[in-house]
Amino acid sequence: MTSIKKLAGAAITLSIVTSSALYATNGDTLIGVGAKTRAMGGAGIAFSHGAESTLVNPALITHVQDTEISFGGTIFMPDIHTELSMPMMPGAKDSADSDADISMIPAVALVSHLNNDVYIGAGMYGTAGMGTDFRGKGNSFMGAGNKKLFDMETTLQLMQFVVPVAYKTGGLSIGIAPILQYGSLDIHYDMQPVPPAPGVVSPGQKQDFGFGASVGLTYDFDNGFSVGAVYKSKIKMDYGNTLSEAAGKMGVIVGGHLDQPAEYGIGLGWQSGPHGIAIDWKRIQWGHAAGYEDFGWDDQNVFAVGYQYDAGTWALRVGYNHGKTPITLYNSDNPTEARKDMFNLLGFPATAEDHITAGGSYQFSKNFSADFTVVYALNEKNSADVGMAFPNMPSKEAVSIKNEHSELGFTVQLNYKF
């Protein structure tokens, strides 16, 4: 047990050091936090993936027979291209690729079977985040001296620590996982000399801790089918004046809260011989979370499906995940709504919708295995007319913002059972 404590401590230290600006997929949330889950499109509410199921559905840790530890991470590479232009003046155009194009996302989980009925675990995951970086891109839009795309840089990082406990009786498993969430938010931009010219806006990085919980259940039938349900509570996060000042200078009045929304879902699983299928639906309540609702984000339905072929010493997985972007684009004559469109597409373009996933595992010994996953988010294009965000513009069509967004991620995970 001492060696387990040392390994977990080292993993926590490494995760905090390597966690950088995360950029995620269903809104600001990763489609899955472990290699097996991600390879099956994020599906896993009713389909066990061993120790990594601690955050997906705490009830599923009852599928771990003795003790299992998983340790890994994701290299996440978003590709974000943004363009700001004045269609009536072809020369007034500003475009750039975001430099926030690579991040390391950690994942660590430990589960132990205490006795015939009770299971306990611990997990730590980079779960969500988003951001862009257009610093130092040169001079362009609306006159010499203006920073390209306003020198915009945004960073949101979220990490969750969970301690699941589960009870199994017959085919029924019930689990609960208290959650401690760490969050960090930083926003910087320079509007000068664009009127109303707030100049450099950089309220500074703010951090906070919040608390929540996840509750889940599953039922395994004798014919290989399983059903599951999970609820994850909202987590309140307060970033001081970072969000309120940055948004306020653009004319959008919000508070300092940027809460992580509640979510709930149901899943189906089926396993027969080497074949396995997982199907999930969940709803993320962005429209009921402070901060996100202020910027017009809607509740999001997410659908995930995955297939697994497990030959014993090796396994292959594929999956698909779809979640319509929660961002509402107003294309409005209202100045406040136009500024929300610009802020969303320039600083927080959580627009990825469709993801194709694949991966596999190899069993090196009875106790040791490794997983590998690739996730690709198809390119999404979004645009909005934001002329009313600027004074003295004749119409909303006078200024246009366009965004293209795709993602590529690689996950590697090591697992040890004892």
Q: What CATH number corresponds to the domain at position 257?
A: 2.40.160.60
Amino acid identity for residue 69 in this structure: I
Q: Is 298 exposed, middle or buried (0-12, 13-18, 19+ CB in 10 A)?
A: middle
Residues forming a β-bridge with 147: 139
Name the DSSP class of 362: E
Cα-Cα end-to-end distance for the chain: 11
All residue ranges of the chain with pLDDT < 70 are: 1-25, 137-147, 192-198
DSSP 52-89: GGGTT-GGGGGG--SEEEEEEEEEEEEEEEEEEE-TTS
Closest alpha carbon to 242 in 255, 251, 229, 230? 255
pLDDT at site 391: 80
pLDDT at site 140: 57
User: Strand, coil or helix: what is 52?
Assistant: helix
User: Strand, coil or helix: what is 2?
Assistant: helix
pLDDT at site 142: 56
Listed in sequence order, the residues at least 6 apart from 232 whose beta carbon sits closer than 8 Å to its beta carbon are: 179, 212, 213, 214, 262, 263, 264
Question: In the predicted model, what is the mean pLDDT of the chain?
Answer: 88
**Percentages of the chain per state (helix, strand, coil), in multiples of 5:** 15, 50, 35
Residues forming a β-bridge with 104: 19, 75
Q: Which residue segment(s) compose the domain that 50 sits in?
A: 2-417
CA distance 196 to 411: 45
Answer whether 344's CB lies under 8 Å from 330's CB: no
pLDDT at site 6: 39
Write the CA distances from 264 to 117, 120, 221, 233, 300, integer angstroms: 26, 22, 22, 8, 11
CA distance 53 to 37: 8
pLDDT at site 143: 52
Count Cβ atoms below 10 Å from residue 114 Cβ, excluding itself.
Answer: 10
pLDDT at site 110: 95
CA distance 209 to 346: 27
What is the number of domains present in the chain? 1
